[in-house]
Structure 1
């Protein structure tokens, strides 16, 4: 009787104390590792698996592959201090996702035999940590890709310029054919580099405020022609008027095209590709495969297929450049990295939901823009000017490209002062050269980039035109170029485009 009287108040005190803990599962274990009492939170955590009934061995609450680790921690706690380390485990609920995890700690009770078991769900925390680590890794790869793209674009520009210069000398027909092949190959290389720049979020964009649903609807006829009869796009628009986003519409077309082509390839026998636009408000950060989406108001574009899904092994790698599961059918592994880069540069995110044998849905998250927001300025264009000779300050650190560009400009009648970096360019101006046009690479060696050089010279020469050229520049976004009234020339460029930019005419 004395033992029974002692347990009743102990149980009442336990329940009052433990039921106050709503987020963490708690249980008191006897000397055999069986459950004496448990709080409601532990029952909720167990879900559809074995529950924390009185007398049940606590290790039975956990999946078979982790139960022994928990049992060992319980045995160590019952043996006395020091307390064993934290154990990562999975509960035995079959409905839980594969990446679900709990932290289990067990320590001896004070003043009586037994142990206290503590179970905390850490799935969301570990997902967020994994996504942040993956995001940091992809950003590092992006910086590397951007740097490689910059140097590669300089080489392509020099190759293209040399081929154009040789063509201008009117060689024989066989040489002309070889030179045109060189130009075509350089153009294909430039397209590849452009995809790398998209992944690195280093493109020159011209964002403006647009209704997302309008951009999607304008693409539907093209998508239907692309997909043919076996694959049918189904579009679910948002209620009118549709939400606004700030994005480069041409880049958004590329994003949608990439995702729809992937959805088509995931269903070789045909099927329906569901496209939808909706608004979503997040009270808390959303942790999902692909990204951690911050709380706030978002416009979500989703593209869903009913294909084979993405394997757990491939899922963490789908945004890596050049990773593809379709190498034998022409996959380059740059489609999804391009999507990710464009979304990041537009202030958005990409998340993925997939189940093997059931399909995959990509969610593109764009920050919602209020109806009163001003549209971004259009991409800059150089005002029409006289096509007569002009004084050109040409700043380019790649010597072969600088020589070719200078030759083309001089052949067109312009006076050219060459400089290998910003400091040399400033010395030329201080020495008396007053350019009508500054043509400068953005990323250069030394302490000053092309933007800074252009701004400094504009203060001295307000009437000077500026043409910025780059294959990679972190600051070379459409807004920055337009706000300063600068023109932008994307590398690798043809010499005709350079001459057109200097003359101030469209090319």
Structure 2
């Protein structure tokens, strides 16, 4: 328990009898300490050396008389309370002392000594009460929460500084006025406050109190705007992560189905003699490839798609996109591009980034049916501290290349902006869009270690800004043009691991048509059992995700350790980035994403096996 501090009194009185009588009666005050002196000089010394709460002062002392005594003491301490205790009953002196700040003026020559002392006691107690009230008001004023006291009619009687700031009003505008909302006792309510055109949200708690001896209501109002914003960002981040996991899983299953459809469609195209059947198979193949593009976008949103990242010259990319945009968007849309000089390279998948920015340009066109202005801007930006990208995620400190695509179109309301990155969310009419364009951009930026944010105002336009991590190097040597190898197979032995029955049967048929000797198995355990009896295989072709607790990467590690001469090719419709970024032995990891065409399968297998043959020579 905190010990209560004593109230310290200084009695300045040169008459020993008066001093003793006053000290005796003042001793009735609880929790007090009294010091008695008989000279002004001594009183000044005490004030300078000791904390004194109040002074009882006789004006006529051996070293000072009259109002000058009061003035000299006041000059020493402007804050200490002074009660004048004087035998001089001159009304002018009394008024002068009170005017210059005396707490009270008590006459020694009053008819009753008891009245005198009661006057002293009353003055000191009143001062203590006023001091306590000032302390309470100071605490309330310093409270970061808004505090308002109203009478029973809910007219404001008191408002602290935080309340004035929250409501954007002065004391004169608030005191004595009604609030814009009712105060409800014993319940927590949430209100909306409009200040300087901006909306703030606040939480109100109400209690019944006595204020100046009358019933009143005390309202504690906490500004919840920033907290609600943080909660919404966290919810948005968690929602996007959950949707990403869901879409990634769905994409994996769809890719397995598309792999079967593509494989069998190619069989019909390659072997069917009826031209009508072959044409129907081509339509099936085209539809399946479009489905594969949708799942690729889903995987990019879910951050589970393998990317071909490298330093990309964003300026060169945007100049190429600008020319294409001018031809595509129409004459009623003006296109301009601004590129910062000496813009650093960005770490990105160039093909995916180009596709994403073109998609943003098309969105801008749709938002400007009557024409308008499309601006593409590229600049560098240094992020010193982690901060949000608007979707609940943080940009880590570092150097970024920022690409902004801005239009002067119809814009979006806040509720649409909040959901714009969700997959399949679209405001376009049925058949006009899939709702995957922005979600793909969002996933691509997050997978690259950057971010994406939208700023939009209805009837004023939309700006979408991409943050791409800057690459370390400024220049990259041009890649030599690839010569596509001839579509060919081989006669090597392949151990094929796939748990999906339909995929396993379809791909096995493709491999055999390419001339390879194929042994299909269901999981990693069956694969190892097969290799224990016969390890004369040239290639392990395995799905990344397998049942039984042993996935494709772990299987490959085991195989490379025991039979290092066997090459490995992975395949998956759902790729785990952490797994894919780990090398298998000394060889880089090779992955063939599902669904794939027979030509892609043949090229990848032939490349790996020829690489092995080259090493053997």
TM-score by length of 2: 0.69
Whether the aligned pair in 2 keeps the contact of 1:282 and 1:294 (CA below 8 Å) is no
Q: Which has the larger radius of gyration?
A: 2
| Cα separation, 2, equivalents of 1:36 and 1:367 | 56
Match of 1:57 in 2: 177
- Report if the CA contact (8 A) 2:157-2:175 is conserved: yes
| 1:159 positional shift | 1.6
Residues 429-480 of structure 1 deviation map (CA, whole Å, 9 limit, x = unaligned)? 1112332111111112221221221222112232332211112222388744
Structure 1 pair 243–14 and aligned structure 2 pair: CA distance change class (3 A)? farther
User: 1:372/1:158 Cα in 2 relative to 1: closer, same or farther (>3 Å)?
Assistant: same
Contact 1:284 1:295 in 2 (8 A): yes
**Structure 2 unaligned spans of 5+:** 1-103, 105-122, 611-617
1:291 touches 1:349 (CA, 8 Å); kept in 2?
no
Asked if structure 2 preserves the Cα contact closer than 8 Å seen for 1:35 and 1:53, the reply is: no
Distance verdict in 2 for CA 1:364–1:295, change over 3 Å:
same
* Higher-RCO chain (CA-CA 8 Å, sequence separation at least 6): 1
Counterpart Cα distance in 1 of 2:315 and 2:132? 62
Structure 1 residues 497, 422: CA separation in 2 closer, same or farther (over 3 Å shift)? same
The one of 504, 519, 527 aligned to 1:425: 527
In structure 2, the CA distance between the partners of 1:364 and 1:490, relative to structure 1 (3 Å rule), is same
Distance change >3 Å, CA 132–CA 170, structure 1 → 2 = same
TM-score (norm 1): 0.83
Deviations 1:56-76 (A, max 9, x none): 43623xxxxxx2xxx233xx2
Shift of the 132–243 alpha-carbon distance from structure 1 to 2, 3 Å rule, reads farther
- Residue 540 (structure 2) aligned to one of 408, 414, 438: 438
| Runs of 4+ off more than 6 Å | 4-8, 49-52, 372-375, 381-384
CA–CA separation in structure 1 for the residues paired with 2:231 and 2:371 = 38
Q: How does 1:365-384 map to 2 (within 5 A)?
A: 365-368=467-470
Task: Give 5+ residue unaligned stretches, structure 1.
Answer: 61-66, 77-83
Aligned counterpart, 1:277: 378
**Equivalent in the alignment of 1:253:** 354
Partner of 1:79: none
- Summarize deviations over 1:220-263 as a string: whole Å, max 9, x none: 2222222232222333333x432454322222112212222111
Match of 2:39 in 1: none
Task: Give the equivalent residue in structure 2 for 1:80.
Answer: none
Report the Cα distance in structure 2 between the residues aligned to 1:39 and 1:368, rounded to whole angstroms: 49
Quote the residue 1:317 is aligned against. Answer: 419
* Map of 1:72 onto structure 2: 183
Higher alpha-carbon deviation: 269-278 or 436-445 = 269-278
How many angstroms does 1:338 deviate by? 1.3
SS at match of 1:291: coil
CA, structure 1 residues 209+169, in 2 after alignment: closer, same or farther (shift >3 Å)?
closer
Alignment of 1:81-160 (within 5 A): 84-93=186-195, 95-97=197-199, 100-109=200-209, 113=214, 114-160=216-262
Matched, 1:491 2:491: no
Partners of 1:309 and 1:228 in 2: how far apart?
A: 20
CA deviations over 1:336-380 (Å, ceiling 9, x no partner)? 1211221222223322222222122222233455569999x99xx
* Partner residue, 1:46: 167
Q: Larger deviation: 224-233 or 291-300?
A: 291-300
What displacement does 1:154 show? 1.2
**Distance (Å, rounded) in 1 between the aligned partners of 2:172 and 2:540:** 75
Change (3 A) 1:265 1:11: farther
Measured on the aligned residues, the alpha-carbon RMSD in Å equals 3.7
Cα deviation 1:150-196 (Å, max 9, x = unaligned): 11111111122122223333422222222222222221221222222
Indicate if the aligned counterparts of 2:147 and 2:159 stay in contact, CA closer than 8 A: yes
Distance 1:382 1:424 in 2: 36
